[in-house]
Structure 1
Amino acid sequence: TLDELISGASDWKDGFQMDDGDANTVLQELDMVLTMEQYRALQDLKQDAASGSSRYKRKALLAESFRWKNKVIPYKIVANVFDAKDRGEIRRAIDEWQNYTCITFREATRNDKNFVRIGNGHGCYSNVGMVGGPQDLGLAGGCRVKGIIVHELGHAVGFHHEQNRPDRDDHVTIIRQNIQEKLYYNFQKYPWTGLTTLEVPYDYKSVMHYGGTAFSMNGQVTIKTNDPAYQNVIGSRVGLSFFDIKLANLMYKCNSGCPVNKVCPHPGFVGKDCKCWCPGDPIKPCENEGVVSTKKPSAKCEDLGPHCSDWAKAGYCRTSTDTKEKCKKSCGACTGDPVNPRGQNPSAKCQDLGPHCSDWAKAGYCRTSTDTKEKCKKSCGAC
C-alpha cells in the first residue's frame, strides 16, 4: 500500500520531527511537512475540538495564501538524481494532475520565488500547499512510482490525508491497540474548521488514503473500513479518484470561466472545460449534461445533514449555495425565522467573529484572505 512504500523509504523512523537541521518544519503522518505556523495552528484546532471549545482560531491550514497563485505550480527536478525511468514516472504523475484539473505544472525559472524542488531526500514527503520560497518534495529510491508521486504532489497542491478527515469515524474505525502509543497522534482527526472538504464525501478510493495497517506495531489492522468491501481498497490507489479530482477542481475554482448557472447531476462537477463530469474511470462525461439534481430541496427550516452545524462554523454557508440549501437552520437561511426574519446570514453584521481579528488585520490577512475579510469585517474595515 502507499503508506507501506512511504514508510519503507523513510529515514525518519518515528515519523515526527525532521532531523535535517531545519527547526522550522515538522514531519506529520509519515510524509507531510508542516511549517511551524501550520503545525501550531493544527494543534490549537485539535485541542479546541477535543475540549469542545468554540473559540475561532486562525485557519492556517485553510488560508488561501497556501494555494498556488494562478493555478500554476513551478517545479525544478534536482540534477543527477533521477534516471530516465524515474523521470518518466514523475512526468506521468504530473500529467495525472494536469489532465484532470486546471492546475498547471511548469519548470521553474529564475524569476519564480515559490516553487517545488523535486529531489532525493530522506524518504517520500512534501509540504502541504504553497508555503513560500523553494519547498522540497522528497522522492527517495522507494518512492519513484507514479502512485506515490501523485500522492506527494497532492500534498503540494494542498491535500491532507483522507483518514484524518473530521468525519472519518463514520467510515473507518481506528484500532488503537495495534498502534504504537507514541505514533497514535498521526490518527488525530482534523476539526471541521481545520480542513477543506468542500462537501466532497469521504473517499475510500482516494489516492490520499493510507492502507489498513498504517503505523501498525504488530502487522495487524489499524484502519478498519466500516464497509468491509473496501478494506483492501484503501491505500491501493495509483492515480486520482473521482472525488480527488472533484475536490481539486473545487479548491482551485477550475470552473471560474464557466456560466454561473451551470449545474451538473449529483455528484458530478463542472470541469475546466465547462462540461459536466461524473464518476467513471476515474471520470466520464455526465449522461444528462447540465440537468439539475431531481432531489427536491426542503422548504422546512431544518438541517438535512448531521454535519450542518460544523459546516456552518467552518464558513461553508457563505461559500456554498448547496450548504445553505441543505443546512437552512444552521446557516440562518430560513425565511420568517424569528431570530433572523429575513433569512440573512448572521455574520452580515459589522462585527468580528473571532478574538484575534485585530491581530490578523495588522498582519495583513484582510488583504490576502477572503475568509479573514468576511469573518473580521470590523477590523478589516469591510462593513
Structure 2
Amino acid sequence: MLYIPQFSIYFCLGYLLLFCKISNAVKQSWEINQELITEANKEHTVFGDMLLTPAQLIRYENSKDSDLSIRGVSIKGSSMNRWSNNIVPYVISPQYSPAQKQILVSSLRYFERVSCFKFVERTTQNDYLFIVPLDGCYSYVGKIGGRQTLSLAADCIADYIIWHEMMHAIGFEHEHQRPDRDSFIRVDYANVIPGQMINFDKLKTSHVEYPDIYDFKSIMHYDGYAFGRVDTARRVRLATMTPLKPGVTLEDNMKFTATDIEKLNRLGQCGARGGQYSNQGVVASTCQDVATAVSCEGNRRRGMCKNPFYKQMMIKSCQKTCRLCSYTRMIDEDDDLTPNTTVKSVKCEDKHPRCDIYSHNGFCTLPFYDDVRYQLCAKTCNLC
C-alpha cells in the first residue's frame, strides 16, 4: 500500500515544505489568479486568464451586446493576429530559476511535437512573447504586436498551465465560452463569485469556428468549480458548470486532447507537417493500478494525482485511479542519445535546502521517493 510517510506530517508542522503544498501545486490558472492578481489588474486588464489591449478594453466597456465580442483573436482571427509561419519568438525573464526555465522550455518543446508551431528564442524579431513571473497566469489571445507579455508566476510553472496560456497566445479561446456551450453545460450563475460573471460570457458566432465536438476534457476548458463561491458553512466551493451529458465530469484538464491537437494543426494549416498525439504510456485497455484501490483512492483525495511532485509515482502505482493511462512523457531533445553521444557532466549538488533533514527521515532510502530524490537531494543521498 502506498502512503505518505509519517515524517512528511512532521514537516508540515515545522517547515511548510513541498510535501505540504499539495493544494497549491494542483491549482488551475483561474485559482492562482484569484490569489495573486492585484485589484487594479483584475478590474481593468484581466478576464479570467486573458489580457485585453486598451482598444479591446474600450470595445468591451462600450459594448451593449451580452455576448462577448472583444477578443482580439479567436479561431477566425485575421492574419495580422497570427504568428508568421507559425514561428513564435520568445524571451524568458532572468527572474526564473534554472529549474523553472527548464520546465518552461520542455513544455514548449512538447508543444512543438504535437503541432507545427515552433518556439524560438528571440534575436531581432519585433513581435515576440516576453515570458515573465508577474502576478498570475495570463496571456493575450493571439499576436498583438511588439513585446507581448505572458505572465507565468511561480505557481504557474506547470506544463498544463504553460500549454493553456500558450494556446491563448497562439489564438485560442476557452472551450466553455463557445457559442453553443449551453447545449452541453449548464452555468449556475448563482454560484459564481460576484464580479466574475464575465468569465462565462459566450463568444459571438461570427468570431469563432467550432466545427469540432464539444470537448469537455480540452486543456482550454475550466473545471466545474471555476470562479465558484465558497459555501462557508460546508467549507466547499460551489459548482459553476454542470455537464448536461450523463456520466461526464468537469475536472482539471492537464493534457492535450486529440481534439485540441486537431484544432492546433488546423489553425496552423499544418498539413503533413503537423504533430501527432502520442501516447507513450500504458495503453488504456491494459491500464490498471498497482497499489490497492483503497490506497489509490486515498492518494487521489489528497491531491497527489495532480501534484507534479508525485506525478511519476502515481503513474507507476495508481494510473487508473489518477486517470494517467494516456500520460505522455515529455522528452527533451537531448533524451535521444546515441551510444557515441557525449553527455555533459552535471554538477553534483542538492536542489533543496532541507536535504539534510530529509535524509534523517528516510528520504534517501524509502522506495516512495525513488523518482524525486535525485532531482532534489542528489548530493546528500550520494547519487552523483
TM norm structure 1: 0.58
1:6 CA drift (Å) = 3.0
Query: Once the two structures are superposed, what CA deviation does each residue of 1:20-74 show, in whole Å capped at 9, x if it has no partner?
Result: xxxxxx2112x10121333455677871759xxxxxx998532221110111000
Whether 2:267 is the aligned partner of 1:251: answer: yes
1:97 CA drift (Å) = 1.5
State the match for 2:106 in structure 1.
92
1:133 CA drift (Å) = 0.2
Partner SS, residue 229 of structure 1:
coil
State the match for 2:274 in structure 1.
272
**1:232-243 to 2 correspondence within 5 Å?**
232-233=250-251, 236-243=252-259
**1:261-300 to 2 correspondence within 5 Å?**
272=274, 281=279
State the match for 1:120 in structure 2.
133
**1:110-189 to 2 correspondence within 5 Å?**
111-189=124-202
Q: Partner letter of residue 134 of structure 1?
A: R
State the match for 2:340 in structure 1.
none
Question: Aligned pair in 2 of structure 1 residues 15, 243: CA closer, same or farther (>3 Å)?
Answer: farther
Contact between 1:14 and 1:183, CA under 8 Å: does it hold in 2?
A: no
Query: Once the two structures are superposed, what CA deviation does each residue of 1:121-170 show, in whole Å capped at 9, x if it has no partner?
Result: 11111111100000111111211111111111111111111111111111
Partner SS, residue 190 of structure 2:
helix
Q: Which runs of 5+ in 1 are unaligned?
A: 19-25, 51-56, 259-270, 284-383
1:227 CA drift (Å) = 2.3
1:240 CA drift (Å) = 1.5
Q: 1:47 aligns with which of 65, 77, 82?
A: 65
How many residues are paired up? 246
Partner SS, residue 159 of structure 1:
coil
State the match for 1:16 in structure 2.
42
What is the CA–CA distance in structure 1 between the aligned matches of 2:165 and 2:71, rounded to whole Å?
Answer: 22
1:98 CA drift (Å) = 0.3
What is the CA–CA distance in structure 1 between the aligned matches of 2:128 and 2:243, rounded to whole Å?
Answer: 37
Question: Aligned pair in 2 of structure 1 residues 202, 124: CA closer, same or farther (>3 Å)?
Answer: same
State the match for 1:212 in structure 2.
224
1:200 CA drift (Å) = 2.0
Contact between 2:29 and 2:136, CA under 8 Å: does it hold in 1?
A: no
Query: Once the two structures are superposed, what CA deviation does each residue of 1:317-346 show, in whole Å capped at 9, x if it has no partner?
Result: xxxxxxxxxxxxxxxxxxxxxxxxxxxxxx
**1:65-76 to 2 correspondence within 5 Å?**
65-76=80-91
Partner SS, residue 75 of structure 1:
strand
Contact between 2:67 and 2:201, CA under 8 Å: does it hold in 1?
A: no
State the match for 1:314 in structure 2.
none
Higher relative contact order (CA 8 A, sep 6+): 2
What is the CA–CA distance in structure 2 between the aligned matches of 1:145 and 1:77, rounded to whole Å?
Answer: 15
Question: Aligned pair in 2 of structure 1 residues 41, 97: CA closer, same or farther (>3 Å)?
Answer: farther
**1:297-316 to 2 correspondence within 5 Å?**
none
Q: Partner letter of residue 28 of structure 2?
A: L
RMSD in angstroms over aligned alpha carbons? Answer: 2.8
Q: Which runs of 5+ in 2 are unaligned?
A: 1-26, 231-236, 282-384
State the match for 2:56 in structure 1.
38
Partner SS, residue 47 of structure 1:
coil
Q: Partner letter of residue 80 of structure 2?
A: S
Partner SS, residue 65 of structure 2:
helix
Query: Once the two structures are superposed, what CA deviation does each residue of 1:209-264 show, in whole Å capped at 9, x if it has no partner?
Result: 1111111122110011112433243xx22222111111111111111xx5xxxxxx
Question: Aligned pair in 2 of structure 1 residues 231, 45: CA closer, same or farther (>3 Å)?
Answer: farther
Partner SS, residue 43 of structure 2:
coil
Question: Aligned pair in 2 of structure 1 residues 224, 75: CA closer, same or farther (>3 Å)?
Answer: same
Question: Aligned pair in 2 of structure 1 residues 59, 150: CA closer, same or farther (>3 Å)?
Answer: closer
What is the CA–CA distance in structure 1 between the aligned matches of 2:144 and 2:82, rounded to whole Å?
Answer: 9
Q: Partner letter of residue 42 of structure 2?
A: F
Question: Aligned pair in 2 of structure 1 residues 191, 4: CA closer, same or farther (>3 Å)?
Answer: closer
Question: Aligned pair in 2 of structure 1 residues 40, 253: CA closer, same or farther (>3 Å)?
Answer: farther
What is the CA–CA distance in structure 1 between the aligned matches of 2:138 and 2:243, rounded to whole Å?
Answer: 25
Percent identity of equivalent pairs: 27
Question: Aligned pair in 2 of structure 1 residues 206, 223: CA closer, same or farther (>3 Å)?
Answer: same
Whether 2:12 is the aligned partner of 1:7: answer: no
Contact between 2:29 and 2:137, CA under 8 Å: does it hold in 1?
A: no
